[in-house]
Structure formats: structure tokens, C-alpha cells
Chain A
Amino acid sequence: MNFAWPWQLRKAGVLSMNKRNIDYISRYNPRKFYKRVDDKLTTKQLALANHIAVPDLIGVIRAQHEISQLPKMVQGRTGFVIKPSKGSGGKGIMVITHVENGRFFKPSGTEVSPAEMDRHISNTLSGLFSLGGKADVAIVEGLIEFDPVFDGYSYEGVPDIRLIVFKGFPVMGMLRLSTSASDGKANLHQGAVGVGVDLGTGKGLHAVQFNKPIEFHPDTGLKLTNIQVPHWDTLLHTAASAYEMCELGYLGTDMVLDQSKGPLMLELNARPGLAIQIANGRGILPMLQHVESLRGKPMSVEERVAYAKAHFSSTTDH
């Protein structure tokens, strides 16, 4: 049979979409703080103010007539990323990895014509990618030189690390690796590989693609559970400190590893998806309830990271 029984999922501690919306997002995420994460430009400015490392900000395009200034803006750079400030789900992100004589190339090697680039930015400004179609701005960011430790684990894209942070405690993590099936994108529903990561050590635990457990990367054949995410403590620390920055109780943090700068925060998400449970092969609910049951004195970021490492590692039992 293709369906699980509800009590089996409840026993496994699987969080459902409805419960996430009612019991976590609407209860722990005050509406007034949403703009801190829904607008990536604001997030970036907040992060800088809180000494959290983020990718370089090359410039911001706010109006249609500024589009023509893009070539000047990215002059001298080998690559850059254009993203909508209010986009969601990775929509509208255009990555240019190669600039040659004013010609732009995507990671796949296909050229982006100036007309296409103009249209993309124009669409972005019109709010095509933003929630509710609100007018938006386009952020031009520096390209991330991603850490070669993931070489062979990701295909044509930047692997990113998603951590769910609940009331400041990192509770579950996963690594998202793009594949040829996902067209270089890191969205699991588009075919990216999700690798559940042990919270205590940063080691790969379990991997899935299209909701099915897999052992090897479909394009490179490397064993996925052998992955060890470097800078794990820094990643946990960065994620945990995002709580102070945006004050959202139930938060998804997306980070990447830059070769020279180390972990960089890409974006925050007030409504992180539930695929992380599948990647980890277990439900997130026990951890959330564990944190809810802590009603002690406020803890510092360091204390929270240490507590999470001690209690939410897959090797420990709750």
C-alpha cells in the first residue's frame, strides 16, 4: 500500500502541514516580524548589523530604468546572482557563473541574452516572483565560491544547508544537493537530493530523492552518507543566532559554505517546508516538543547550540 496510517506517522513524530501552520507558525511567528525574512534585502541588512556573514551585496535594482546599469554594476566580476528580494521557494533566482565580454552564461553553459536578462529583472520588479505579486526590487549578489568539500556531491549548483531553528535551538538539519534532474536547483520537489545531517556531528545520515531513500548521488555515484559537513559548529551558531536577529520562533535558515568566507547565510524562511523530515528519515515533532517543554531561564546562543548538540543528535535518544 502507498499510504501510511495516521497513527504510524504520529508515532514517528511526523509534523503535518496543518499542524505546522496552526501550532507552530501561527503561534511562534508574530506576523509583524515576517518582513524581516520575506524581504531578503532587509534580512541582509539585519544580518550585517548582527555580524552574520552573508554573500556580497553588489547592488540593488529598484526601478525599470536602472536595469540598463547592470553591466556596469557587475563589471570585473566573473559571476553574480540576481534574486528577487521578496521571492519565495527559490523562484526568480538567476545565477550567472561566467561573464565574457559582456555576455552572460548560466552554470549549464547556456547564454542569457541581454533581452532575457532585461525581461527577467523587469518581471522581478513587477512582482512576478514575489508573494502576492507585490512590487519588488532585484538584488545583485556576489557569486559564492562554494567549498570544494562538496565536489562530486552536487551537480551544477550550490549545495545549501537548511537548519530548522525552533525558539533559537537548531533542531534538524539537511543538506540540499542539486542534480541534473533538478536542473541545478536545490529544491527537493524538483529532484534535488536531500541529505539528513546529524545535528551533533554534521555527518550525513540518510538521503532521499523524490521522497525515496537513495544511497548514492544519481549523477556522480558518490556515497551520500559519507558526507561530513565542515564548519558544523559555525553553521549551528549562525543559525541559532538568527533567532535573536529576526525573533521568529519557527524558522528555516538556508546557508552555504564559501571557500574563503566560510558559512554564509543565504536566506531565512518563516514557513520552512516539511521535506526535511523525509531527508532525515524521521519526524521533527519530538524535538519541537522537547524545546517547548524547556521553560527554564533564557539561554545564550552558545548554550543553545551545546544543548541542541547534546540532545538532538540522532545518536541520542529522547
Chain B
Amino acid sequence: MQSRKPFYILVALLFILGLGSSIYRGIEHNVPFLPGKQVQSWAVDAKVSFIGTGEPAEVSFSLPQDPAFEILSENASSPGYGLSVTKIDGNRRAIWSTRQAVGQQDLYYKLTLVPSGQDKLIASKTPNTPELYIWPATEKTAAEQVINEAWSRSANNLTFARQLMQTLSARDRSQNVELLLSSNNPTRLFVNMLHDKGIPAHEVNGLYLEDLRRRQQLVPLAEVYDDGQWYLFDVVNGKAGRPDSVLLWERDGNSVLDVVGGYKSQVTFSMLKDTRSALATSIDMMKNQEGALDFSLYQLPLEEQSLFKGILLIPVGVLMVVFLRVIIGIKTSGTFMPVLIALAFIQTTLLTGLVGFLLIVAFGLMIRSYLSKLNLLLISRISAVIIVVIGIIGLFTVLSYKFGLSEGLTITFFPMIILAWTIERMSILWEEEGAKEVVVQGGGSLLVATLAYLAMSATWVQHWVFNFLGIHLVILAMVLVMGQYTGYKLMELKRFKPLAGE
């Protein structure tokens, strides 16, 4: 006997590969593990406006690159302008250009964002120690006093920043702070004070996302470096840490908007919150990624996709049949007929399917008993049964339409050959072994079909078999393992009970 080792290695490989690829898909591509999951998305419109001088104009506008949000789609509308999106020092900027810009100009940039769940600002490299800020003579003493006071109450960079921010945004501020704020904006002052102690920090521009807001402006925020991460401080509002609703628009100290050949330039934002299916979102996201969809069912036309959704359910039904026959020991007539019946049940729904199936088979058996008197050859008899079954289906469909039972119309989903063959086998069984065996075997088939249907119609199963193709390798591994099962079936424990001894 050959060694079983390669077999078990194969099974283990299939299992690990299937499970691994499914988990990878879930985590890396954000395909939701559960169906019907919703994510919220933000639609943000940026409107850049300026007054053209009649000269050639070039508008350079920074585009957001925030790890907390993924860009689902973006587009710009700017008639009469050439547009290019370039990457400068790792920052994306939209450059609009035109030969002549006269009067009021409006350029639009729209994007749809989805929270990525990655709310930490990991620093890709350790920033350099900032240059010391030279305070003006009038502010020097006040600034030093404020800094030293906060410094003495802090333990590290972060607590120092927090103390500073509290001092700057407190309701009743000290005279020193009031003096400093009278000639500085709070965020800039905060950053300067941190630089005074050699702590890397910079100003960034953020946008507070709020549903249905229009004409919003970017707000200045400060990022403070500590131990590989940047931490966000809203000095104006006195809030430390990153709120979910903040989108960082510009992070590298560059200008948000540069306009050449125009004046009175400004940018305003409006936004809209939306909820959409997590699955559709992740598929759209994969479409943005180069190559992520290359060998995927998602790129098929919708019709083929829905066909595959049905086909990919068959392994689940087959697994169910293998389990019920090998481990439980339920008898069915025909090996995989129950799976085909279960597939029809998915179209008809369970109750309608069962009633329809029983009606057709019962009617078919009656007609078959007449055909058996005619002494026909087997092939022509089966063919006659098929034609009669079509007639019965047609009759039931028309009847249920007349009575307004729309469920009855789904009866047409039953595979004709399956019905005809079932009727033929049941009729032989009836003649040879009696009605009881017909009920036992037919009942067994319907029971297995029902269980297979229940497994195949569960929404999370349908979601998994289509979106996590790796699951089919797991099913294959399970089928192979069950093919090796030499133990007792559940029904054998009952059958051989007399041999168990007491």
C-alpha cells in the first residue's frame, strides 16, 4: 500500500492555501468577511477660484494623501484648462493650466474617500531636528517663560506638546500667551515653540468632514513627531489626537494652492456623507489598483458573474452530499441529484420548490403508471415522460398564473431531465420494492436536497464562495479527507447496534 503521507501533505496544503488566500483577500483587499456590510464614504468637492488677469494661468493644487482615507475615485472638471496630476516629492498635485484666464475662474476637483481604518500617522523616516526659531526681541522673554513652564511640567515630547497646547488654548490665558498670540497665529506659535526645544513639528492643513457642509475651509493643524509617529494637535480648539472626521489635505509644509496669472485665489470645500456596500467599495478599490483584478471573477460581465455565483454554490452542495452520505449514511437516489434539486430550490425558494417537485413527481408517477401498460422500450418511455413533464410544468405554470400565485411560475426552474429520471426511477422502485421504499429513498433525496439548499442559500455562504475563492480549496480538502474516512457512519451505529454487546 502506498504511503499516505503525500496525500495528507496535499490536503494540508490545500487547506492552508485556501484559508490563507481567503484571509489575505479579506485583510489586504478589504473584502468584507460578512455580507451586507456597509461602509461610509465621503464625497468631497474642492472648488478653486481666482480672478484671471488675462495672462496665461497655472494653478497648482495639492491633493490629499492621508493614510486614514483611501481614494475610491477622483475627477476634476475644468473646461478650458489642461490638467495634469503630478507627483512632486511624493506629494500629488493637480496642475491646471491655460493660455488665457480672464475674470472669475472656477476649477473643481471631486473625490470619493473611504476610511481605511489606518488612523496612525507612521513616519516613513525620522525627521531632522528642526532649526531653532529665532524669536523677535519683544516676544523672546514671554516665549521662554511659557516654554519653560510647560517643559517643567512635562516628561517627554508628547506631554510637552500637550502642555503647550493647553497653555495656548486655555480659556483664561496668561499675559505672556496673550502677548504672543496677538502677533502670531496659534498653530504657528505652537510649532515654533516646539522647534525651540528641538522637537520636530510642522503645520498641516486639515479638513473637518461634516455631512452636508458647504464652503468649508482648510484648518491649520500641527503634527508633532514622537517615536516614529506623527501626532495631530488642533491648537485652535485645544484638541489633541486624531478625530475620525479629519482629512489631512496637505502634510508636508507646501502650499495648498499656488496660482500664477491670477489673484484673489481661494479654495473652498463642500462634502457629502454616503453609505455604500463594503463589498462594492473594495471591488472599486481593487479596480484602482493595477493588476489586482487581473485574474478575478469581478472583471467578467455581470451575466457571467451571476452564472458563476450559481456554479460556485455547487461545491457547497456537493460537500453537503458527501458529508450526509459518507459520515451520516443517508440514502439518496442518484448521487448528485439532490444537489441539482437544491439548485432548483434556490430559484424557486424552498417551500414552493418542495410543493412543486412533489406535485410534478406525483402527477408524473400517475402518468408513468399508464405508460408502463403500453409496453414501450425504455428510451422511448423516458422520452415520453420528459414530454409529459414539460406538459405538467406548463399546466401548473398557467394554472398558478390564472390563480395569481406568482410562486408557481418558478416551477420552470426544475431541470427537466432530473424530473423525468426521478419519476422513472421512483416508478420502477414502486413496482419492485413497494411504495414504502419510494417514500424512503425519495424522502432521503429530498431531505439531502433540502439540507444542501439550506447550506447553499445562506447569504454568508453565497458571499464566501464567490468573493473568497480560496474557500473552494478548503472544500476540496474536506471532500478528500472525507473520502478517506473508514469509520462508522452514523446510521451504521444504529444498524449494527445488535452487535455492540452489552
Residues of A within 8 A of B (CB): 2-6, 8-9, 11-12, 14, 16-19, 22-23, 27, 64, 91, 115, 118-119, 122-123, 126-128, 190, 208, 211-213, 277-278, 281-283
* CB proximity to A under 8 Å, residues B368-411: 372, 375, 377-379
Nearest opposing residue in chain A for B373, CB measure:
A115
Q: How many of chain B's residues have a CB under 8 angstroms from any CB in A?
A: 28
A127–B378 touching, CB < 8 Å: yes
A277 to B492, CA, bound (A): 12
A14–B486 touching, CB < 8 Å: no
Residues of B within 8 A of A (CB): 1, 326, 329, 372, 375, 377-379, 428, 432-433, 484-490, 492-501
Q: Which of A11, A22, A123 contacts B486 (CB 8 A)?
A: A22
B495–A278 touching, CB < 8 Å: yes
A8–B375 touching, CB < 8 Å: no
B486–A2 touching, CB < 8 Å: no
B494–A2 touching, CB < 8 Å: yes
Nearest-Cβ distance from residue A301 to partner chain B, whole angstroms: 27
A278 to B501, CA, bound (A): 12
Nearest opposing residue in chain B for A126, CB measure:
B378
B499–A9 touching, CB < 8 Å: yes
> Provided the pairs A6-B487, A16-B489 are in contact, do residues A118 and B496 lie with their beta carbons within 8 angstroms?
no
Nearest-Cβ distance from residue B490 to partner chain A, whole angstroms: 8
Nearest-Cβ distance from residue B405 to partner chain A, whole angstroms: 37
Nearest-Cβ distance from residue A192 to partner chain B, whole angstroms: 13
B372–A119 touching, CB < 8 Å: yes
Nearest opposing residue in chain B for A92, CB measure:
B432
A22–B484 touching, CB < 8 Å: yes
Most buried by A among B329, B489, B497: B497
A208 to B489, CA, bound (A): 21
* Known A4-B496, A122-B378, A212-B498; further 18 A-B contacts with Cβ < 8 A: A2-B497, A3-B493, A3-B497, A11-B501, A16-B486, A16-B487, A17-B489, A17-B492, A23-B486, A27-B1, A64-B377, A118-B375, A126-B378, A211-B495, A213-B498, A278-B496, A282-B499, A283-B499
Most buried by B among A4, A23, A64, A128: A4
> Provided the pairs A16-B487, A119-B375 are in contact, do residues A128 and B428 lie with their beta carbons within 8 angstroms?
yes
Q: Which of B433, B490, B494 contacts A190 (CB 8 A)?
A: B433
A208–B498 touching, CB < 8 Å: yes
Q: Which of B487, B490, B495, B500 contacts A12 (CB 8 A)?
A: B500
Nearest opposing residue in chain B for A127, CB measure:
B378
> Provided the pairs A119-B372, A208-B498, A281-B499 are in contact, do residues A18 and B486 lie with their beta carbons within 8 angstroms?
yes
Nearest-Cβ distance from residue A35 to partner chain B, whole angstroms: 22
**What are 11 A-B pairs at a CB distance below 8 A?**
A2-B497, A9-B496, A11-B501, A16-B487, A16-B492, A18-B486, A118-B375, A122-B375, A127-B378, A211-B495, A281-B499
Q: In the complex, what residues of A have CB within 8 A of residue B493's CB?
A: 3-6, 9
B501–A12 touching, CB < 8 Å: yes
Q: In the complex, what residues of A have CB within 8 A of residue B499's CB?
A: 4, 9, 12, 14, 277-278, 281-283
Nearest-Cβ distance from residue A48 to partner chain B, whole angstroms: 30
Q: Which of A18, A27, A277, A281 contacts B485 (CB 8 A)?
A: A18
A-B contacts, CB under 8 A, total: 86
Q: In the complex, what residues of B have CB within 8 A of residue A277's CB?
A: 496, 499
> Provided the pairs A19-B486, A22-B484 are in contact, do residues A14 and B378 lie with their beta carbons within 8 angstroms?
no
A118 to B374, CA, bound (A): 11
Q: Which of A9, A17, A23 contacts B500 (CB 8 A)?
A: A9
Nearest-Cβ distance from residue A271 to partner chain B, whole angstroms: 15
Q: In the complex, what residues of B have CB within 8 A of residue A18's CB?
A: 326, 485-489
Most buried by A among B1, B428, B433, B486: B486
Q: Which of B379, B489, B498 contacts A211 (CB 8 A)?
A: B498
Q: In the complex, what residues of B have CB within 8 A of residue A11's CB?
A: 501
> Provided the pairs A16-B487, A18-B489, A19-B486 are in contact, do residues A4 and B375 lie with their beta carbons within 8 angstroms?
no
B497–A115 touching, CB < 8 Å: no
Q: In the complex, what residues of A have CB within 8 A of residue B329's CB?
A: 17
Nearest opposing residue in chain B for A90, CB measure:
B432
A11 to B432, CA, bound (A): 37
Q: In the complex, what residues of A have CB within 8 A of residue B497's CB?
A: 2-4
Q: In the complex, what residues of B have CB within 8 A of residue A211's CB?
A: 495, 498
Q: Which of B1, B378, B484, B492 contacts A128 (CB 8 A)?
A: B378
Q: In the complex, what residues of B have CB within 8 A of residue A115's CB?
A: 375
Q: In the complex, what residues of A have CB within 8 A of residue B428's CB?
A: 128
B378–A9 touching, CB < 8 Å: no
A264 to B489, CA, bound (A): 35
Q: In the complex, what residues of A have CB within 8 A of residue B379's CB?
A: 126
Nearest-Cβ distance from residue A241 to partner chain B, whole angstroms: 27
Nearest opposing residue in chain B for A22, CB measure:
B486
B377–A278 touching, CB < 8 Å: no
A17 to B329, CA, bound (A): 9
B378–A123 touching, CB < 8 Å: yes
A4 to B498, CA, bound (A): 8
A122 to B490, CA, bound (A): 40
Most buried by B among A2, A6, A11: A6
A91 to B377, CA, bound (A): 18
Q: In the complex, what residues of A have CB within 8 A of residue B375's CB?
A: 115, 118-119, 122
Nearest opposing residue in chain A for B492, CB measure:
A16
Q: In the complex, what residues of B have CB within 8 A of residue A213's CB?
A: 498
List of 6 A-B pairs having minimum Cβ-Cβ separation, nearest first? A126-B378, A4-B500, A8-B500, A19-B486, A3-B493, A16-B488
Q: In the complex, what residues of A have CB within 8 A of residue B487's CB?
A: 6, 16, 18-19
A190 to B339, CA, bound (A): 28
> Provided the pairs A2-B497, A4-B493 are in contact, do residues A9 and B488 lie with their beta carbons within 8 angstroms?
yes
A127 to B492, CA, bound (A): 31
Q: In the complex, what residues of A have CB within 8 A of residue B498's CB?
A: 208, 211-213, 278, 281
A60 to B423, CA, bound (A): 30
A6 to B492, CA, bound (A): 9
A241 to B377, CA, bound (A): 40
Nearest-Cβ distance from residue A4 to partner chain B, whole angstroms: 4
Q: Which of A14, A27, A123 contacts B496 (CB 8 A)?
A: A14
Most buried by A among B377, B379, B486, B488: B488
A14 to B499, CA, bound (A): 8
A164 to B139, CA, bound (A): 107
Nearest opposing residue in chain A for B484, CB measure:
A22
Nearest opposing residue in chain B for A2, CB measure:
B494
Q: In the complex, what residues of B have CB within 8 A of residue A2's CB?
A: 494, 497
Q: In the complex, what residues of B have CB within 8 A of residue A208's CB?
A: 498
Q: In the complex, what residues of B have CB within 8 A of residue A128's CB?
A: 378, 428
Nearest-Cβ distance from residue A32 to partner chain B, whole angstroms: 19
A201 to B495, CA, bound (A): 28
Nearest-Cβ distance from residue A285 to partner chain B, whole angstroms: 11
Nearest opposing residue in chain A for B501, CB measure:
A12
Nearest opposing residue in chain B for A208, CB measure:
B498
Nearest-Cβ distance from residue B2 to partner chain A, whole angstroms: 11
A213 to B433, CA, bound (A): 23
A3–B494 touching, CB < 8 Å: yes
